[in-house]
Amino acid sequence: MERHPRHPPMNEPAGLLPVDKPEGPTSHDVVGLARRALGTRRIGHTGTLDPFASGLLLLCVGRATRLARYLGALDKTYVARMRLGVATDTDDATGAVTSVSDDWTRVTAAGVEAALARQVGEIEQTPPAFSAKRIQGERAYRLARSGRPAAIAAVPVRIDAIRLIRFEPPEADFEITCGTGTYIRAVARDAGRALGVGAHLTRLRRTRIGRFDVADAVPALRLDDPAAVRAAWIEPLAAVRHLSRIDLAADQIPVVVRGGAIPSPPLPDRSGPVALAAHGRLVAIGEVQGDRVQPRTVIA
Q: Which residues are identified as catalytic?
A: 50
Name the β-bridge partners of 57. 19
Give the burial string for 17-46 (b: 16+ CB within 10 Å, else e).
bbbbbeeebebeebbebbbebbebebbebb
CA distance 55 to 220: 10
Question: Which residue in 66, 17, 42 sits closest to 224, CA to CA?
Answer: 17
CA distance 75 to 58: 13
What long-range pairs does 223-227 form, CB within 8 A, spacing at least 24?
A: 223/19, 223/33, 223/34, 223/37, 223/38, 224/33, 224/36, 224/37
Query: DSSP assignment, residue 211?
Result: T
The single-letter code of the amino acid at 54 is: S
Q: Given the DSSP bridges, would you call strands 244-247 and 274-278 parallel, antiparallel or unpaired? A: parallel
